[in-house]
Structure formats: C-alpha cells, structure tokens
Amino acid sequence: MAQREELAEFTFEQKKDLSERINSLGGEELNTVVTIIQSSMPNLDEGQEEIVLDIDALDRRTLHRLHEFVTGKRLNPRKQTHKRGRTHYSQEDADRKIQELEKTLQKFDGPKQFQAASGHASSSESDSDSSSGSDSEDSGSSS
C-alpha cells in the first residue's frame, strides 16, 4: 500500500497526452483500457457502445496503470520528476558540449561565409578556392 502513496501526481500535460494516446487505440487495446478503468470504477456501465470518461475522475493508481499499458513503460517516480537535467552536468561536461555544438555550427556557417566572401573577393581568390572546393559547382555554372 505504501507504493500506491508514492505514485507521482499526473500533470495536466501528462493527462492530455494519455487521453490522446488512448483515443488513438483500437480493438483489443481499447478493451484492455476499459478493463483497467472498470477495475477502479466497477459501476461503469458496460452496456454502452461508447464510454465518455473524464480523465480527472480517475485515481492516481488507475492513471499509472493506463500510462504503463499505453506507453509500455512506467512513469518516473515523484522524486525524479523534480530534478532538472542540467543540475547533473559538471561545468567541464557543459563546456565540452558547448564546444562540440559550436564546431557543428561552424560546419553549417562556414560555407555561407565562404560563399559571401568569395562573391566579394577578387576573381583569382574565388577561382583558386572554388577549384579546390568542389568540382560540381564549377561544372554546373559553366554549362
């Protein structure tokens, strides 16, 4: 019973996501969802063709069971939901990641700067740069 008390509360976004996932299910999966809900709400009418249910009416345990069924994984325990990822990174790791991202960004920015520079550079500079760069640009522009 203590484990039930430790189940994390669902946020509005999590409930919305769960509801959307349930609505996209069909056939046997939907029958399983109904069975899970009926286990916590036995007075739910089985005779209806369509069941309309307010997700806020479900208890925490049922929400967790539905989430686990629909996603195939458990929701993180309450303790983990309050932690922020960046608090786990050391300054060294953060600096290394920034350097990696800057290098990647330079790969994308580099050709743009080169093209802009070669447009204003003297023809001898742009000819030597473009001939050593890629042949596909030269053959495409001269044909």
- Tens of pLDDT, residues 89-119: 678 888 888 999 998 888 887 655 555 555 5
Report which of 80, 50, 64, 85 is spatially closest to residue 7, judged by C-alpha positions.
64
pLDDT attached to residue 7: 80
The domain at 2-81 falls in which architecture? Up-down Bundle (1.20)
Two tokens, residue 143: 């044909």
Domain ranges of the chain: 2-81, 90-120
What the block records as the tokens of 103 is: 């290098």
**pLDDT tens digits, 68-96:** 888 887 766 555 455 555 556 678 888 88
How far apart, in whole angstroms, are the C-alpha atoms of residue 70 and residue 5? 22
Distance CA 71, CA 22 (A): 10
At residue 18, the pLDDT reads: 86
Considering the entire predicted model, what is its pTM? 0.45
